[in-house]
């Protein structure tokens, strides 16, 4: 149960992030929804959460690749909720292409959103967690980091960086009772994967013989936010049906 807890979730208005937000709310947590796209979509998630689960939810526009914006947003969240207990770094983008044809700007933007965004949020949330002597940080990585998937030099590198960042954070903050773990999803059906068109190719390599859904990831994210995982830190949990073992 997450009653009495507050969670900050980036990219929480769509896909995996929205599913984690609803899962946490169903377990009693208040939710700070960080979004960058449509305010209407973010507002819909907020309304669904408050109406269905009776917990407080607020929306915050923030580009996680912008450090100053992250700092201002987390300051506002801290004022609104009086602090928070859980941070989920879920925001992410893809700009796939083969290495030799990849635009430099596509490499930079993926690193900036996925990896630097994760660093920015951990850094600006650090003081809150240190003050509370408690925290659960959950970073959404990808099996692409482990497999080195073709066409994803930028994305796989950013996610491998997130795994390293997770371990450094776990090591540096562990003595203050702050846990940091990563989830590495496999092929999860969301907007990010809807145009990939490689479902059959992946399916033949997935021992559980099905593609994943956001709920598969949200259930593991719930475990990592709960006291059930209090002695788990610096871990990377694959949620991929066995794809990358
Ligand atoms: P998605 O629906 O496209 O979600 C990505 C989210 O990131 C969106 O909510 C988007 O916000 C947000 N976002 C993008 N750029 C941002 C920025 N600069 N600042 C703040 N937020 C930003 O795709 P998803 O599949 O749920 O992806 C969620 C996470 O899971 C990502 O980190 C992704 O890399 C990871 N993942 C997904 C899969 C998969 O198969 N789907 C596999 C492995 C890992 P808006 O909607 O407001 O634009």
The pLDDT value recorded for residue 194 is 81
| Residue 68 neighbours by CB distance under 10 Å | 9
| Structure tokens that stand for 113 in this block | 């959103």
pTM passes above 0.95: yes
Residue whose CB lies within 8 A of the most ligand 1 atoms, among 13, 17, 152, for a mutation test: 17
The pLDDT value recorded for residue 199 is 76
The CATH code for residues 6-239 is 3.40.50.720
Mapping DSSP to helix (H, G, I), strand (E, B) and coil, where does residue 237 land?
strand
The 57-61 sheet, strands edge to edge: 57-61, 30-35, 6-10, 86-89, 135-140, 178-185, 236-239
| Structure tokens that stand for 68 in this block | 């100053």
The pLDDT value recorded for residue 200 is 79
The pLDDT value recorded for residue 27 is 98
Averages of pLDDT over runs of 10 residues in the chain (245 residues) are 97 98 98 98 98 98 98 98 98 98 98 98 97 98 97 98 98 98 97 78 92 98 98 98 97
* Structural element, H or E, at residue 108: helix 104-110
Q: Which residues line ligand 1 (CB under 6 A)?
A: 10-11, 13-17, 35-37, 62-65, 90-93, 113, 140, 142, 185, 187-188, 190-193
The pLDDT value recorded for residue 147 is 97
């Amino acid at each position: 149960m997450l009653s009495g807890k507050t969670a900050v979730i980036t990219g929480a208005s769509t896909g995996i992030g929205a599913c984690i937000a609803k899962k946490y709310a169903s377990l009693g947590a208040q939710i700070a929804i960080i979004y960058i796209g449509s305010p209407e979509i973010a507002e819909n998630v907020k309304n669904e959460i408050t109406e269905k689960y009776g917990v407080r939810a607020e929306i915050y526009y923030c580009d996680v690749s912008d450090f100053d914006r992250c700092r201002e947003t987390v300051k506002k969240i801290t004022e609104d909720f009086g602090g928070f207990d859980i941070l989920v770094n879920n925001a992410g983008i893809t700009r796939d292409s083969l290495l030799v044809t990849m635009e430099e700007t596509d490499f930079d933007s993926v690193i900036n959103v996925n990896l630097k965004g994760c660093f920015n949020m951990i850094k600006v949330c650090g003081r809150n967690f240190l003050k509370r002597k408690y925290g659960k940080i959950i970073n959404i990585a990808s099996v692409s980091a482990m497999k080195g998937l073709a066409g994803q030099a930028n994305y796989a590198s950013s996610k491998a960086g997130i795994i390293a960042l997770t371990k450094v954070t776990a090591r540096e903050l562990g003595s203050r009772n702050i846990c940091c773990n990563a989830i590495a999803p496999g092929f999860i059906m969301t907007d990010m994967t809807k145009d990939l068109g490689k479902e059959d190719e992946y399916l033949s390599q997935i021992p559980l013989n099905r593609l994943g859904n956001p709920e598969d990831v949200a259930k593991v994210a719930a475990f990592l936010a709960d006291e059930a995982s209090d002695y788990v830190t610096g871990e990377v949990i694959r949620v991929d049906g066995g794809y990358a073992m």
